[in-house]
Chains A and B, each alone.
Chain A
């Protein structure tokens, strides 16, 4: 199901402040990932912006607030708008997070972890089946970082991720930085973790750097990619025919040349394993 997806190469999470530089360095960016929420109830200007981006780059919509892990089900109003956006863009795939952002009708405003239980897997699969009724474009699911581990786990995080993507027949958007962040904060072996993941399901990667706060590594998307994350990227790309990799810088935006240098580094890693040109 996933092997037929096209290889997109090296891309960038689009953020409005660097639109000028993006177009001045267009040849160094193969595709863009947009935050779907920015364009769901879009103003005329945002619609024009999306049109402009879509005519110049392949676009992957990245949703944040669908809340696939909500036991109460999905917000159909949100889902309808998301489906319309994805239909408009007709991407090769789209992505969401394995988490919940809404509970009891309240928007938490944060990607919150799920308990690693069969019940949570069931909830996710049920919601994903509902999503499929609206959106027939392949969905890939992203691993998140967390500040708290929910008690009552019936499996490890890696097993949980694997179970979800296998049972729901989704791809995996492996956020390498999230993986590194969790491994550092919870002292687990990231290589063991990688071994437990269904590697044939990995479609896309995310990478960026975070910052330290009171001894905790925060996934703030605010720093350049650390060496440990580069090593992980190298390891994953060597093992898996990854279709695309996205630099996801949000905060503390550096001169654009720094971003393109990171993209070039990711490109070189892909090239060395014949994943992309």
Chain B
């Protein structure tokens, strides 16, 4: 008992102990930081496949929502669905559904009635859950996603670190209180803040592993020209799908499928007004008045060129 109450730490002078405690905290945090490093950091990246799968890439970028976006957009480009202002619906005389992949068929069937773009996306996301598991597993096997066991390990490391900080701080706190010293605010603050920081640090959830993040960046850098192609050339359906998989719906702004982009990101009122007032702006994508000429079923097939001509500024 005597050794518990009288030892170098228990007898340490307050400021000296605080210095010692801060050192322990720093060492614990650094050790934990090193232990929770992503194990894929030094792994070589996988090769870019000769035939990249837009659905797999979409899952890598934005999970279920990414896949739903690609499936929805694919159905629009191929003439199964159409965009009408803010809503998406089936094209009455759509092509034969037997040409659709199972995942696309699920989405198509789910959208039997017209709904807003966001609802359509939600419905599509609901309908593809089963397919997502296969992509999850594939990407997990390639260590592109952050594995749950790594997350569990991180939590363990964090808890051990927090325990060290907590134990040392609590011990000294009890000793101090036992000796009738109550100037312990800084000690408590140090301990509590460092534990909060440590637990936040180890419990951060990342969808992608380091390898996954770098691989996605590499894919985006490699296929970045698709954005230019979508605006100024005639990309194939596959090119469009890959574009949406890699860069999201935002990449469709200013392309032939601007109406689809606007269904999700409608122009704000002030922007519309300011653009309407600018008579020199003849861009098709600028005003809602023009938007309608490029939306609806006219954009539901790949025949919609980049033109949307005739929407001059007048």
Contact = CB atoms under 8 A, between A and B. Distances in A.
B225 A255 contact: no
Contact of B222 (A17, A20, A27, A255): A20
A23 B218 contact: no
A56 B224 contact: no
Contacts of B226: 20
A177 B82 CA distance: 49
A26 interface: yes
B225 A17 contact: yes
A22 B123 CA distance: 36
A19 B50 contact: no
A227 interface: no
A26 B50 contact: yes
A17 B224 CA distance: 10
Contacts of B218: 48, 52
B47 A24 contact: no
B250 interface: no
B223 interface: yes
Contacts of A23: 48, 52, 222-223
B247 to A, nearest CB: 12
A18 B222 CA distance: 10
B233 A48 contact: no
Interface residues of B, number: 17
Contacts of A26: 48, 50
Contact of B224 (A20, A52, A55): A20
Given A24-B239, A27-B50, A19 B225 contact: yes
Nearest to B44: A55
Contacts of B222: 19-20, 23, 52
B3 interface: no
B221 interface: yes
Interface in B178-225: 218, 221-225
Interface string A32-49: 000000000000010011
Contacts of A45: 221
A155 B47 CA distance: 50
A91 B126 CA distance: 50
Nearest to A22: B222
A21 interface: yes
Contacts of A24: 52, 223, 238-239, 242
Contacts of A21: 225
Interface residues of A, number: 16
A29 to B, nearest CB: 10
B110 interface: no
A111 to B, nearest CB: 29
Nearest to A255: B233
A48 B221 contact: yes
A52 B223 CA distance: 12
A45 B222 CA distance: 11
Contact of A55 (B47, B50, B223): B47
A57 to B, nearest CB: 11
B233 A20 contact: no
B276 interface: no
B114 to A, nearest CB: 34
B275 interface: no
B229 A56 contact: no
Nearest to A25: B50
B224 to A, nearest CB: 7
A158 B224 CA distance: 44
B225 A56 contact: no
B49 to A, nearest CB: 9
B48 A20 contact: no
B232 to A, nearest CB: 12
Nearest to A26: B50
Contact of A20 (B45, B47, B50, B229): B229
A21 B235 CA distance: 10
Given A24-B239, A52-B218, A18 B50 contact: no
Interface in A33-76: 45, 48-49, 52, 55-56
Interface of B: 45, 47-48, 50, 52, 218, 221-226, 229, 233, 238-239, 242
26 contacts: A18-B225, A19-B222, A19-B225, A20-B222, A20-B223, A20-B224, A20-B225, A21-B225, A23-B48, A23-B52, A23-B222, A23-B223, A24-B52, A24-B223, A24-B238, A24-B242, A26-B50, A45-B221, A48-B218, A48-B221, A49-B221, A52-B48, A52-B221, A52-B222, A55-B45, A255-B233
